[in-house]
Amino acid sequence: MSRNQKPRLRFAPSPTGHLHIGGARTALFNWLLARKEGGTFILRLEDTDRERSRPEFEDEIIRDLRWLGLDWDEGPQKGGPHAPYRQSERGATYQRAVEDLLERAQAYRCTCSMGRLDAIRKEAMAQGRNPHYDGHCRDLHLGPDCGPHVVRFKMPQDGTTVVQDMVKGPIFFENQEMDDFVIRRTDGGYTYNFVVVLDDHHMGITAVLRGDDHLSNTPKQVQLYEALGALPPRFGHMPLILGPDGKRLSKRHGATSVGAYRDMGYLPQALLNYLARLGWAHGDQEIFTVDQLVEFFSLAAIGKAAGRWSSEKLDWVNQYWMQNLPITEISRRAAPFLKEMDLNPDPAMAEAALDTVRSRSHDLRDMVSRARFFFLSDNRLEMDPRAMRKFLKPAAIQRVEELAAELSILESWNQESLEDVIHGWLHQRDLKLKSIAQPIRICVTGQRVGPGLFETLEVLGKDRSLARIRNGIRRAREQA
């Protein structure tokens, strides 16, 4: 990349499964590099595996990237100068490139049967060698009418391929260790190693950050660039994310897809913040806004050691953001969970109600269920019968009724005035707050635990609070 060229980065998922946590981190790091340098971030769908690629995974990946806020400048649903951005639609380009390589004898047709390839593989394994295509067809110059065939790329047979890895430093690969790998299959489909190079080249990608499970592919890709007479992008391979036990993060360790965390009620801000810290550091800072990530992100600070997944830490980061994002944002993020629970509160009421429980809530789903009582209609509130029996005995009912009469003449209904009136009323009767707090709470929330009593009453408002108190008393009497 020339010095003044703006970077072009990409995320190139295969739509063969959910968007994995590791994939999301790859997307995030590439996105951060692009945003930091005012470059371009491209989304490209690598659906070369026709059997395993599914449109529903594509939709899910797109939905989850959007949810995380990782927006792309070129790609599906957006277009761009290098459209289409889905590999299954780019066949004509690949076709031309194969013809070209064949013509220049940098690739060749191979008619070796499965049986033959199997035998070579078995023999190599038996001798403890790396299974390796033996180059049987390499110099046969087979033409297009040779029958069913694959096309293989001609790897140099000696020398060394050096990958100047941005994360790991220089890595050396002996060319003789590498296969003449297949670039077009018998069925006419193209392979990942081939099309990734063509696309990255055509799309002007300047740097590729990806998981180090791809490291063994990189020398093959570098050789392909060479054959195309093109300059490879800079590569950086990040260690994969490990589970708490040091093994590669997998389902055994719990949820691994972005969608699962979204459905559980995690905030995208928290997931991004947490993912950024898995393999990257900025001093010992743990909490970052997205703007800070963009500002501080640097390749040099990507760790060589693998990050280990910790649900406890994710929860801690999530709770930080649950408490510290503006309530309008929290409320916006809570909307799908409200809908799921068939709750349809007025937006201002929802904000006020969610604000009373967010600091106690583990996640959005938990928050909505803690605030649910606010949103039910006053005469349909579910009341815990055991709590009613315990706290709404005749004497308590009597007190609550008297206090309610006093409250009904209160003009301004807010925490301070409620506190004043209630404390004054208790004082006159030489009673403690305890004597009415739980009885009123049970009436207005239906439960024995909830947000602060005065806050709850303020958010519910005068009419609804008094209606709930009346209903509570009536139901307690019926139950008795």
Mark the segment that binds ligand GLU (CB under 6 A) among 1-9, 68-76, 206-214, 418-426.
206-214
- Assess 13 for contact with ligand GLU (CB under 6 A): yes
Q: CB nearest ligand GLU: which residue?
A: 46
Query: Can you tell me whether residue 54 is helix, strand or coil?
Result: coil
Q: Rounded to an integer, what distance in angstroms lies between the CA atom of residue 238 and that of residue 158?
A: 28
> Using CB under 6 A, which of 46, 74, 199, 351 touches ligand GLU?
46
Angle at 435 between CA 432 and CA 438, to 5 degrees: 125
Residues 6+ apart with CB under 8 A from 216: none
| 251 noted as active-site residue | yes
Question: Residue 95 has which token pair?
Answer: 């076709």
- C-alpha span between 453 and 456 (Å, rounded): 5
CA distance 452 to 9: 49
Which region among 9-17, 62-70, 245-253, 330-338 touches ligand GLU (by CB under 6 A)?
A: 9-17
Query: Measured between alpha carbons, how far is 362 from 270 in angstroms, rounded to an integer?
Result: 12
Active-site residue, from 78, 251, 304, 339: 251
Does residue 210 bind ligand GLU (CB under 6 A)?
Answer: yes
- Between strands 169-174 and 182-184, the pairing is unpaired
The answer to whether 14 contacts ligand GLU (rule: CB under 6 A) is yes
Q: Which helix (H) or strand (E) holds 132?
A: none
Bridge partners (DSSP) listed for residue 439: none
From the list 11-19, 315-323, 437-445, 463-471, the region that binds ligand GLU by CB under 6 A is 11-19
Radius of gyration of the chain (CA): 31
Kindly state whether residue 279 participates in binding ligand GLU, applying the rule CB under 6 A.
Answer: no
DSSP per residue over 211-274, as a string? EGGGGGGHHHHHHHHHHHT-PPPEEEEEPPPBPTTSSBP-GGGS--BHHHHHHHT--HHHHHHH
Which C-beta is closer to ligand GLU: that of 135 or that of 204?
204
Piece of 10-18, 131-139, 250-258, 438-446 that binds ligand GLU (CB under 6 A): 10-18
In the complex, the smallest distance separating the C-beta of residue 16 from ligand GLU, rounded to whole angstroms, is 8
Mark the segment that binds ligand GLU (CB under 6 A) among 8-16, 256-264, 282-290, 381-389: 8-16
The nearest distance, CB 26 to ligand GLU, in angstroms, is 7
Question: Judged by CB, which is closer to ligand GLU: 29, or 266?
Answer: 29
Q: Which is nearer to ligand GLU, 59 or 139 (CB)?
A: 59
Buried (b) or exposed (e) across 355-375, using 16+ Cβ within 10 A? bbbbeebebbbbbbebbbbbb
Nearer to ligand GLU, 14 or 269 (CB): 14
**What is the spatial distance between Cα 333 and Cα 331, in angstroms, rounded to a whole number?**
5
CB of 100 to ligand GLU, least distance (A): 22
Contact 468, 460 (CB under 8 A): yes
Give the shortest CB-345-to-ligand GLU separation in angstroms: 41
Q: Are the CB atoms for 355 and 371 separated by under 8 Å?
A: no
- Residues 129-158 close enough to bind ligand GLU by CB under 6 A: none
Q: Mark residues 323-362: x for contact with ligand GLU by CB under 6 A, - for none.
A: ----------------------------------------
Residue choice 102, 196, 440, 476 for contact with ligand GLU (CB under 6 A): 196
By the 8 A CB rule, do 243 and 253 touch? Answer: yes
Our finding on whether 12 is near ligand GLU (CB under 6 A) is yes
Choosing from 86, 136, 168, 214, the residue that interacts with ligand GLU (CB under 6 A) is 214
Residues forming the active site: 251
Binding interface with ligand GLU (CB under 6 A):
12-14, 46, 196, 208, 210, 214
